[in-house]
Structure 1
Amino acid sequence: MKKPLLTVKDIVQITGITGRTLHYYDRIHLFKPTHLTEKGYRLYDRSSLEKLQTILFLKELDFSLKEIADILKLTKQEQKQILKKQRQTLLSKKQRLETIMAALEEYVSGNDISNLQIFSSSLPLKEQYANEARFVYGETEAYKVFNETLEKLSPDEKEERFSSMEEIFKQIASRIHQDPSSDEVQRLIEEWKKNLMQLMPCDAELLACIANTYKFDARFKNYFNQYSNEDLADFLYSAIMHNING
């Protein structure tokens, strides 16, 4: 017996998708009907329903419609690899959302906004710099260069640049029991300066401004202190100031 075809109304009732969305998916060639009647009514077979459910599932996973169209062209194994990566992305978003909700509770309870955990290590270094650059550098030539340099970098280059900075901070954290003026620590501060100067020109005054921000701005302070059980932000301040004045 031939399997009955599903109408737009049937699809809407089964999946919860709106008829307008279904028509839009047809128009962009993401999900087309199996058949068209003489009067132009769209009909779908049972196998196409699985494809639509996959589309809706991927949409819930935060993929764009263009990304979904590309994913549907892949093999099942290739799709699984992409979904594994997306799972990590969603976990990060979940953790970020939980942090925001906790911060909201703290703020409603009267906590000062600068001390909220929303400004802690939940933000990667590149976001901290992007969020704070204008505050730290002001409308200076250095800030303009910083912005222009970031715009010229590809996403991979940005990731590599900031990953390198994070690695330096981790190495400094492992030497937190040394004197900030020690050769090892100062060598790492020189590496940090070299990386920073690839993004923007830095004189002693600007470096001191950055050092003060690391120490006194709760957002940076919380970020850096994730790398150590002790006050890494204060240690960085001392090491940078020695480098400037040494």
Structure 2
Amino acid sequence: MAMKVKELADLVGISVRTLHYYDEIGLLSPEEITDAGYRLYSNDNLEMLQQILFFRELGMPLKEIKQMVNSSSFDKQDALKQHQKMLLEKRSQLDKLIKTVEKSIKHMKGEIQMTNKEKFEGFDFSQNPYEEEARKLWGDKAVDESKAKVAGMSKDAEKVVSEIYLKLAAIRDASPKAEEAQEAIKEWYDCLNNNFGTYSLDAFKGLGQMYVDDQRFTKNIDQYGEGLAKFMCDAMGHFADANKN
């Protein structure tokens, strides 16, 4: 039985505007539009919407979802198996994070001792949930080149990234203009340019500003330590301004 757009929105828990937008960009068009202008969605539409929302749950941008589901090789059953695999991996990561939280509570109570490494077990920054925003800001070419570099990044480079975040988290209560802070933020600047693309000083400063302007960035970064996003923003801004002279 066909469903009207409001019925589908209420069933799924998304907005009517979202469904209209999916139609506008050619991602999910209704099976039929009546003479009165009502959008009618079929069971096939519902199955495709489920696929789209699975992809969104895993952080995939709408542009990539559209390319995937419109591909002649797209298979719904294979896609569901892939969703299952990736969601199980996500659950495994969340289980690790929950365990880290539990251990951190006990550590704060003085019941156990945690090493610095144990404090960050479960965090995974290999996936970038902000890729869509990055593409809007810097274009597809820059992001694709960055992703290619990440894909080929060595274990040594991954270790460097982890060490820099730990170093910055450890000194986040100091002045972002202090020599130690500026040395650490230069390591971050060099790491970005060596592994994730080409960042001018202005782009580096702008990236730091996004860390505090976008609450998703702030929440993600502050998992390393409360206030780290603001500290990095200030340190990156000072570094960019100081090195322009």
TM-score scaled to structure 1, two decimals? 0.47
TM-score scaled to structure 2, two decimals? 0.47
Q: With a CA cutoff of 8 Å and minimum separation of 6, indicate the structure with the bigger relative contact order.
A: 1
